[in-house]
Amino acid sequence: MKNRNTLGDLQNFTLTHYPTSAEEITKLVIDFNERREKFFAVSTGNNWGYGCDHSHQKTTHCLNLKHMNRILDFDEPNGLITIEPGVTYGQLAEFLKNKDSDWITPVHGGGPDCSLIGNTLERGYGITPITDHYQACQGLEAILPNGKKYNSSLKSIGQYKLDQLFRNGVGPYLDGIFTQSNFGIVTQMTLKLAPKSQKIELFFVDIREADLGSISLSIKILKQKLGTSLGGINLMNKERLLSMLVDYPQKDIKERKALSDDFVKSKVKEQMISDWTLVGAIYGDKEIVKAVKKIVKKELRYINTRKVFINEGKINLLDKISRIFPTIFGRDIRSKVESLVGIINILNGIPQNTALKLAYWKNLNEAPDNNLNPNRDNCGLIWYAPLVEMHVSKVLEYVKFVRDVSNRFNITPLITLTTVDDLCFDSTIPILFNRDDLEDQTRAHEYFNTLFKEGRKKGFYPYRLGTNSMPQFLDDLDDDYKKLLSDLKKVFDPNNLFAPGRYIPGDLSQGKFSLVSDEQDKKSQII
């Protein structure tokens, strides 16, 4: 039976396979090559907002690796964990909890049911101390599209332990070519975990619109000075924060309207939030946290608005109080405290659904209390996630650009700027739509395409792509780079059967790939 993903795209593959071992994958891949049948692979298929368990081209076979979910090795003294692609954030967190381990899971906002390897291969990130998840990859194994096996260099010469300890290996570094590509199916990976911090302190700062440029510079300076003692910093506009705190009016969903200025103003006043909100976290021993906190306060001393520093102990106390008194002076404090608990759990490596609930904001059906699944629950979500230079003028230009395009499409702009390092923000724009409304879905895709194309001209480009944007990326590449990728693809996949067109062009002599191959799919998919 065909189904749709959060992009609204129609499933365009025929058969799903659930291998349980690398050996099974090898047999399947060899068989597909003999029959010249196209195939692709997903770790769990829970890549919300980027394509999930769908391919962007007509494909015969999907290899879903969710049953390959073994934790193969745990070197606790070194914080090294070797896992298969079906291992989820929730599974690893539970494993470490049962071990009473001093290491934490490198979680992100996608919830407990997403694959660690899947996110790592897409070069995803989070706000725990190891922000860039691929930087935690110490080594991997993969099955190539031609059925052969790949090992990192040290492992291939029998140095198994050194392979885990020294990520760069010896000779050309090839592990990285399996990220954001179609060069192979990764069957296991060793990850370096971050240690638990003795103390974590959250801080929130209200930012006026007039201070947006100067706060961007302050964030850059703080990241340069403090490194990993200061975790990922999020800078969210008021509309993005409201999406976590209030319901979208059902009338406006049905009428395809953006939130009105009056609604936003009233809710901003009710929720006591500012134009922008800065959310950060400090990690380390008590002495380090105390020193870093002092530096943060000094750097932000010119911001004459509310600054709140709160540690885990205070959040736990508020949690207990809000369970007894969910409202105080007519204000709902319970939902805000639940958000605080969710954030502190994420910082402690415990995956949460706190951020994933966003996918349900324009869904006319109420989100379930547990077991969130945006695909199953008919949520409409597309992520636009461009890199933005951490420079005052570029940040201001970017925000104006997003607002202008949003006004053009009558869509409420939900803007987050997250620190990747001290050089770039990664901005995430969740594009939400009513998946039961074809017109709303069409508008959402046109909005994304406009952001993508016009953003490129202004120097803003996504750090990762969904199945909807692969063709645009391939069109943007220059001919020399395309030729290089195409030549590599012929070596790894001479028959061009594995996930053709995914980040990598195929045989250029065969012309460009098409998203769909028949008239029916052209009508049913929105590109």
pLDDT of residue 521: 39
Tokens of 376: 């199953």
Higher-pLDDT residue of 9, 433: 433
Mean pLDDT confidence for 35-57: 90
Q: Which residues pair with 426 in a beta bridge?
A: 387, 418
Give the residue ranges of DSSP H helices in 73-210.
89-98, 116-121, 153-156, 160-165
Mean pLDDT confidence for 415-426: 94
Distance between CA 214 and CA 135 in Å, rounded? 30
Evaluate whether 448 touches 383 at the Cβ level (below 8 Å): no
Q: How many helices (H) and strands (E) does the chain have?
A: 17, 21
Q: At which residue do the structure tokens 């001290």 appear?
A: 422
Angle at 374 between CA 126 and CA 439, to 5 degrees: 115
Band of the pLDDT at 339, cuts 50, 70, 90?
A: confident
Q: Where are the beta strands (DSSP E) in 53-145?
A: 59-64, 71-75, 80-83, 103-104, 137-143
DSSP class of residue 112?
T
Which residues touch 11 (CB under 8 Å, ≥6 apart)?
Answer: 2, 3, 4, 5, 54
pLDDT tens for each residue of 495-508: 999 999 999 987 65
pLDDT of residue 13: 80
pTM above 0.85, yes or no: yes
Mean pLDDT confidence for 465-476: 92
Evaluate whether 498 touches 40 at the Cβ level (below 8 Å): yes
Q: Which of 379, 425, 525 shows the shortest CA–CA distance to 46? A: 379
Evaluate whether 13 touches 36 at the Cβ level (below 8 Å): no
pLDDT tens for each residue of 60-105: 899 999 999 999 999 999 999 999 999 999 999 999 999 999 999 9
Least reliable range by pLDDT among 2-11, 28-37, 180-189: 2-11
Evaluate whether 358 touches 32 at the Cβ level (below 8 Å): no
Mean pLDDT confidence for 466-483: 93
- Exposed/middle/buried for residue 42 (C-beta within 10 Å: 0-12, 13-18, 19+): buried
Q: Which of 509, 526, 502, 521 shows the shortest CA–CA distance to 47? A: 502
Res 517 pLDDT > 80? no
Mean pLDDT confidence for 332-350: 80
Band of the pLDDT at 527, cuts 50, 70, 90?
A: very low
Name the 3-class secondary structure at 349: coil
Res 512 pLDDT > 70? no
Res 518 pLDDT > 50? no
pLDDT of residue 355: 84
Q: At which residue do the structure tokens 């992009």 appear?
A: 7
pLDDT tens for each residue of 401-417: 999 999 999 999 999 99
Hey, how many other C-beta atoms are within 10 angstroms of the C-beta on 112? 21
pLDDT tens for each residue of 283-296: 999 999 999 999 99
Res 19 pLDDT > 50? yes
pLDDT of residue 515: 30
Mean pLDDT confidence for 127-141: 91
Q: Which residues pair with 382 in a beta bridge?
A: 431
Mean pLDDT confidence for 467-472: 91
Res 509 pLDDT > 70? no
- Exposed/middle/buried for residue 150 (C-beta within 10 Å: 0-12, 13-18, 19+): buried
Res 11 pLDDT > 90? no
pLDDT of residue 520: 37
